């Protein structure tokens, strides 16, 4: 199977360090001066990033994250991921990381959808992702579960179509299934 196109950003080495469940923001969020004219059309492309498990690449160890690329500019992006371990998962976001292919354990990226916006810094897509429930009650809930929950949230908010969400989820599951079961 040919490799998916590469180019967005992310972290890779598992679910992080635990923590207190509060959101973290790293990197510099672009200011309004970078947003450009409100009369021009803008877009945001949502990607699922998949990383091989480490130290052993098995299905349950594969790491999934989301990345929004602004106006097809690979250097203008936002990576959103789940950090921590049960029962202390939290959402973490990192602005303007380099291409994922440069990050350790990068495996694939999958396009979910491109959303047209009126402003470069329209945060509706980001806010819907951050508003998705983080499930700290079920011990088998993971970053993979979170991505599925986010896709459902985006479908319900009509930010992506049911078909786009279902195709992205199926693609993610297929890439995760390429790793050994145990």
pTM of the model: 0.79
**H/E element holding 145?**
helix 143-156
Q: What is the pLDDT of residue 172?
A: 98
d(CA 74, CA 54): 26
DSSP string, the chain: -PPPP-------SSS-----S--EEESPPP-GGGS--TTS-EEEEEEEEEE--SSS--GGG-EEEEEEEETT-TTSEEEEEEES-TT--EEEEEES---GGGSTTEEEEEEEEEEEESSTT--HHHHHHHTSPP--S-TT--HHHHHHHHHHHHHHTTSS-HHHHHHHHHHHHHHHHTS---
Q: What is the pLDDT of residue 169?
A: 98
**For residue 55, is the peptide bond before it cis, meaning its omega torsion is within 30 degrees of 0?**
yes
Per-10-residue mean pLDDT of the chain, 182 residues long, equals 34 33 49 50 96 94 96 93 95 94 94 94 95 96 97 98 98 95 76
d(CA 24, CA 95): 11
Q: What is the pLDDT of residue 39?
A: 52
């Amino acid at each position: 199977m040919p490799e998916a196109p590469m180019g967005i950003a992310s972290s890779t080495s598992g679910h992080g360090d635990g923590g207190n469940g509060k959101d973290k923001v790293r990197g510099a969020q672009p200011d309004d001066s970078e947003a450009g004219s409100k009369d021009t059309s803008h877009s945001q492309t949502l990607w699922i990033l998949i990383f091989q498990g480490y130290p052993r690449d098995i299905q349950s160890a594969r790491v999934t994250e989301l990345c929004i690329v602004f106006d097809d500019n690979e250097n203008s992006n936002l990576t959103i991921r789940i950090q921590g371990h049960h029962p202390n998962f939290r959402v973490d976001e990192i602005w303007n990381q380099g291409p994922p292919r440069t990050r350790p354990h990068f495996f694939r990226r999958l396009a979910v959808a491109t959303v047209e916006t009126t402003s470069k810094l329209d945060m509706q897509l980001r806010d819907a992702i951050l508003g998705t429930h983080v499930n700290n009650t079920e011990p088998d809930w993971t970053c993979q579960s979170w991505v599925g929950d986010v896709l459902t949230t985006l479908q319900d908010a009509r930010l992506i179509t049911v078909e786009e969400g279902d195709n992205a989820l199926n693609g993610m599951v297929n890439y995760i299934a390429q790793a050994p079961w145990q």
